[in-house]
Amino acid sequence: MTISPFEALLSMSGEYDLFLDIKAWPKLLFENNLTPPVILADDVPIWGFSLMRQARDIGIPELPCMRISPAEKKDLLYIAIALENRAGSYSWEERKNILEFCLINNIAVDDAIIQTIEAGRFTDWQKKTEKYIGFPDSLKKLVQSRMLDIKSAEKIVSLPEPCIALVYEKKEKLTHSERRIFLEQLHEVMQRDGLAEKETSALCRTMLDAPDPVKLLEAARYPNLSSMQKEFLQHAQLLRKQGIALSAPDNFEGEAFFIRFPFVSRQNFNKKVNALQAFENHIDELFTLL
């Protein structure tokens, strides 16, 4: 059995239109009626919206269709999710659609439903999805486009929207993990310094306009540490010019510095020793870093 025209179905409210158009069905399947059937219950489409939209877009006039007996909305939802069959890979926007469907229709979001969506254990599904729903649009967009994970999004939710929009706009400036660190540190600086929306947004823009936004923001988040690093680098550079490598313990956590140098002759050795002797003047300053 086929349905035609399905334009009318598409223009209906589409209560069960929960999923994004993820899968592109090959035209050949449409032309030979080989796509899965659109499912209707009581003349209401339950599953197949994506198929119908694709068919419409490529000018296919009719699609296979199957009518099932009317059933409880919860069962119809199960059927839709089972046919979509992408457990574990639904986007947050789709999870949102499913949760909203459940809430509107008084369907308890139990483990059985969650398992059809998530392929395995997923703690606090409803809570997390509700959090996503509560995010401002710009943050939703960032999460939905997989540019930020939900956990990090939760942490930075109070960042002003213009900052998040800017990070989205300048997406090429940061890698995925840099973006997470950038947003978290921006949020921490905002909280620490009690910055207002305008100030935070200005800070965000300045950072993102810089050649290395992560490094610049890190210096703002860790002012002591970064000035210590700067100071250390100055000392290290003095020695590097003489072919001597100076290293400090990680994060200046420890009690010893190290120097290392190659020497190829007595003369060369003496030159390095002289350089080290000259460096002695800086030793006290160096030790203030530990």
Partner 1 sequence: MNYSHFYNDYIHAVYATPAAKDSLAACRVTERLPGVPFSIVASKDDIPEKHKNQKTVFLTATPGKKFGPCPGSKRHLCCNYLTINLYEGCPIGCSYCIMQAYLNFEPVTVNVDIEAITKELDEVIQSNPDTPIRIGTGETGDSLFYDPLFELSKNFIEHCAQFPNVYFEVKTKSHFVDHLLGIPNKGKAVVAFSLNPQEIIDAEEGIASSLAQRLEAADKAVKAGYLLAFHFDPIIRVKNWQEMYLNVADQLSQFEKGKIVWISLGTVRYPAQLKDRLGSRPWLYDEFVPCRDGKHRYIQRIRTEIYRSVAGWLTESTGAPLYMCMESPAVWRRVFGKISSKIDNLCAIFTKVHR
Min dist CB 248 to partner 1, Å, is: 11
Q: Is residue 155 involved in binding partner 1 (CB under 8 A)?
A: yes
> Is the four-CA dihedral 17, 21, 23, 25 of positive or negative sign?
positive
Min dist CB 251 to partner 1, Å, is: 4
DSSP summary character for residue 170 = T
Please work out, in degrees rounded to the nearest 5, the angle formed at the alpha carbon of residue 64 by the alpha carbons of 59 and 65.
Answer: 120
Instruction: Output the six-digit token pair for 23.
Output: 């899968």
Q: Is residue 234 involved in binding partner 1 (CB under 8 A)?
A: no
Q: Which residues contact 264 (CB under 8 A, 6 or more apart)?
A: none
Instruction: Output the six-digit token pair for 174.
Output: 């940061």
For residues 255 and 218, what is the distance between their CA atoms, to the nearest angstrom?
24
Q: Name the β-bridge partners of 188.
A: none
Pick from 255, 258, 260, 284 the residue near partner 1 by CB under 8 A. 255
Q: Is residue 252 involved in binding partner 1 (CB under 8 A)?
A: yes
Stretch that binds partner 1, among 69-77, 86-94, 207-215, 218-226 (CB under 8 A): 218-226
Q: Is residue 225 involved in binding partner 1 (CB under 8 A)?
A: yes
Quickly count: other Cβ atoms within 10 Å of residue 183's Cβ: 25
Stretch that binds partner 1, among 4-12, 119-127, 216-224, 271-279 (CB under 8 A): 216-224
Binding residues for partner 1 restricted to 180-199, rule: CB under 8 A: 188-189, 191-192
Chain positions contacting partner 1, by CB under 8 A: 151, 155, 188-189, 191-192, 221-225, 228, 250-255, 288-290
